[in-house]
Structure 1
């Protein structure tokens, strides 16, 4: 833990090497247990938090030897209650572990579970794991998955590995593959989509991501795996990690994802629910390959029972392409 010097309710922490590379906001969320993000950002914005004597932005990455000033913070009784994951969630996360060593943890994240709290979500994977592993000195998300997407999710257990993974994502060395079920028979063969995306566009009172000329570059590669008349199973790779990228690009090709209640086809979704029992988004991060400074970690995540059952029901009427 960082060295702490108390001074009239104000704390001055010297950042130890095991926290080097961590974002300030994430460090404060851990240090000020129970504090909501809104409070963290407010005290940083007002200059009550100081780094080496000066103002600082919440996304600043800490370095060994930095001195951080943290003001006294009063939390109400509800906020002071520590998170206690339910026995069911605790067991679900334990069963989800695909790979673990001293530096890295990879889960098969369940669909419906956010990776972190926010936007009306009280907790996510990272908060639950920190509560279940109170003696873990460092635990950070190395990347993100949408709440409704299942599959491989990597968490770093050291700041060094966190930087290695984030650098590998930035220069395109991480290979992450998804399985997606889309509407109708896919007759495009392998298809690469390069269409820029803009997020937070308001449509019908809902914030959306859309293909727009002035958006951020986004590249998605679709490859057919199993082709059926009502739906097709695709393997998908993304060269960029934009919000809802796979879902928006697939919908733009007129092959929306099954179970997508944001960009999909309501009639198709009803048919998949009624005839095939699909009641979630069919998007699963099924494999992840991480280069970690001279060693590669390759992990695959099996489909859950619901998604396997959908494919089993589709199989007899379809044509298999290996």
Structure 2
């Protein structure tokens, strides 16, 4: 590439999955936002010519996006965003060793705590950027769902658009069974097996964006089962029936039993208990996933607790 053209790169055809946050937007406004540096005239010319397609069909500029839509973006000249972030060797090694399932359409990773699922908000990289650099042979890698940065455990990454659409369809219903392990403060009552409380996100509190229970929030349901009780804490299995941001964490707090190590939602007493028990990170782990892939029997995947969390339980059992 010559010096004069080094500021421009040409992308190939891309397939973008429309997520819930973008649902309802006009297509042209969405494109202007995500295709930074591409002239407006080029975007509108592409819309008129049918180069941008939704679910393989032609659409107009005023089309309202729907969650789950697959948007085809044609090859475009865009300003080069700069060199790709260099993935530290520590994270590269962690991710390579934590891929627990792989087939032609799907990767499943046991995500380590401390790694965001994607870059943004001041982060140069996350799990998906790491995977794309580690696996350049994969032309398509997209997150199926998300985990909080400090939550460890199983996360799905699609290698084909059709698998992404199918798993999103299952996630919108009850087709994907997700189970988490959490160590919460106090003795969770065995008879309390469900927390149903609407959640509202992006509440700014002390300059930090939070989620809270609010009647104007979105309906949210989490099942809880007591697995093991200790004098000051309880190991529970949590099953989210809805998929709201921070759902398990806020529902545990709402029930009066914050998750140990949760810097966002635990109170001072819980923070002191976490310190005393040696909990140095959020004790929340996505331990199992069950779902169905096309033409395959139902798949059940499990990931054991990370060693530092298992050690805390062993210490408490003594």
Task: Return the TM-score normalized by structure 2.
Answer: 0.81
Match of 2:57 in 1: none
Q: Structure 2: which 5+ residue stretches go unaligned?
A: 1-7, 20-30, 52-59
What CA RMSD, in Å, does the superposition of the two structures yield over aligned residues? 2.8
Secondary structure of the equivalent of 1:73?
Answer: strand
Match of 1:276 in 2: 277
Q: CA deviation at 1:227?
A: 0.5
1:239 — aligned with what?
Answer: 241
> What is residue 102 of structure 1 aligned with on the other side?
104
Cα shift at 1:150: 0.5
Whether 1:74 aligns to 2:79 is yes
- Deviation of 1:40 after TM superposition, in Å, equals 3.2
Q: Are the aligned partners of 2:105 and 2:163 in contact in 1 as well (CA < 8 Å)?
A: yes
| Count of aligned pairs | 285
Contact 1:282-1:307 within 8 A present in 2 as well:
yes
Deviations 1:12-42 (A, max 9, x none): 96x5xxx66x3379xxxxxxxxxxx997354
Which of 149, 152, 163 aligns to 1:150? It is 152
Q: Give 1:294 shift.
A: 3.7
Say if 2:246 is the partner of 1:251. no
Q: CA deviation at 1:97?
A: 0.9
- C-alpha distance in 2 between matches for 1:38 and 1:309: 50
Contact 2:179 2:238 in 1 (8 A): yes
- 1:38-87 Cα offsets, whole Å, 9 max, x none, are 97354579564344265478967446xx67362x3333xxx421233222
CA distance change for structure 1 residues 73 and 212 in 2, over 3 Å: closer, same or farther? same
Runs of 4+ displaced beyond 6 Å: 9-13, 56-60
Distance 2:260 2:231 in 1: 14
Counterpart CA distance in 2 for 1:130 and 1:58 is: 30
Distance, in Å, in 1 between the alignment partners of 2:9 and 2:285 is: 46
Distance 1:10 1:150 in 2: 36
Q: Tell me how far 1:292 sits from its aligned partner.
A: 1.2
Maintained 8 Å contact 1:257/1:281: yes
Give the direction of change, closer, same or farther, for the CA distance of 1:278–1:157 in structure 2 (3 Å limit).
Answer: same
C-alpha spacing 1:38/1:300, structure 2 compared with 1 (3 Å): farther
The aligned counterpart of 1:290 is 291
Alpha-carbon contact 1:23-1:59 (below 8 Å) kept: no
Cα deviation, 1:273-298, whole Å, max 9, x if unaligned, reads 2x322110000000001111242221
CA distance in 1 between counterparts of 2:153 and 2:137 reads: 26
Matches of 1:126 and 1:12, distance apart in 2: 18
Q: Deviations over 1:183-226 (max 9, x none)?
A: 01112434211111000112222211111111111000011000
1:264 corresponds to 2:270: no
Give the structure 2 partner of residue 319 of structure 1: none
Cα displacement string for residues 143-191 of structure 1 (whole angstroms, at most 9, x for unaligned residues): 1111111000011111111111111101211000000110011124342
Distance 1:47 1:186, change over 3 A: farther
Contact 1:192 1:220 in 2 (8 A): yes
